[in-house]
Amino acid sequence: MLDIAELRERAVSFAARFDQVKRSAAPADFAWYPYDSLANWQHLEKLLTGPNRQVLDLAGSAPLLDIGPADGATSFFLESLGREVCVLDNTETHHSGMKGFWKLHAALQSKILAYHVDLDHDWTLPREDFGLALFLGVLYHLKNPFGAMERLAGHAKYCLLSTRVTTHAEPLAYLVGPGDACGADATNYWLFSESGLRRLCERTGWTILDWKVFPTEDPEDFRAFCLLRSNLLADWLAVRGWYDREVTGRWTARQFTAELPKPAAAPAVLELEFYIHPNSIEQLGPLTLTASHAGVEFARLVCVEAGVHTLSGSLATLPGLRMVPIDFALDKALPPAGLEARELGIYVTNLRWL
CB atoms within 10 A of CB 262: 17
Q: Pick left, alpha or beta for residue 53 (phi over 0 → left; psi -120 to 50 → alpha; otherwise beta).
A: alpha
CB distance 189 to 141 below 8 Å: yes
Res 180 pLDDT > 60: yes
pLDDT category, 125, cuts 50, 70, 90?
Answer: confident
pLDDT for the residue 183: 53
CB atoms within 10 A of CB 252: 26
Torsion, CA 123, CA 125, CA 130, CA 136, rounded to 10: -50
Res 73 pLDDT > 80: yes
Separation of alpha carbons 154 and 97, rounded Å: 28
SS3 15: helix
pLDDT for the residue 138: 94
pLDDT for the residue 275: 97
SS3 11: helix
Q: Give residue-wise pLDDT tens across range 300-350.
A: 999 999 999 999 999 987 777 788 999 999 999 999 998 889 999 999 999
Rounded mean pLDDT, 45-57: 96
CB atoms within 10 A of CB 57: 19
For the residues of 16-44, what is the DSSP string, one character each? HHHHHHHHHHS-TT----SS-GGGHHHHH
CB atoms within 10 A of CB 191: 23
Q: How far is CA 205 from CA 160, 224, 298, 302, 338, in A?
A: 14, 18, 35, 39, 38
DSSP 51: G
CB distance 198 to 220 below 8 Å: no
pLDDT for the residue 182: 63
Rounded mean pLDDT, 96-100: 92
pLDDT for the residue 223: 94
Rounded mean pLDDT, 33-39: 92
For the residues of 95-154, what is the DSSP string, one character each? TTTTHHHHHHHHHTT---EEEE--TTSS---SSS-EEEEEEES-GGG-S-HHHHHHHHHT
Separation of alpha carbons 30 and 22, rounded Å: 9
Second-level CATH architecture of 237-353: Sandwich (2.60)
pLDDT category, 184, cuts 50, 70, 90?
Answer: low
CB atoms within 10 A of CB 23: 12
**Percentage of the chain with pLDDT > 90?**
73
CB distance 223 to 165 below 8 Å: yes
Residue type, 354: L
pLDDT category, 181, cuts 50, 70, 90?
Answer: low
Domain limits, the chain: 4-230, 237-353
pLDDT category, 192, cuts 50, 70, 90?
Answer: very high
CB distance 275 to 346 below 8 Å: yes
**pTM, two decimal places:** 0.84
CATH code, residues 4-230 = 3.40.50.150
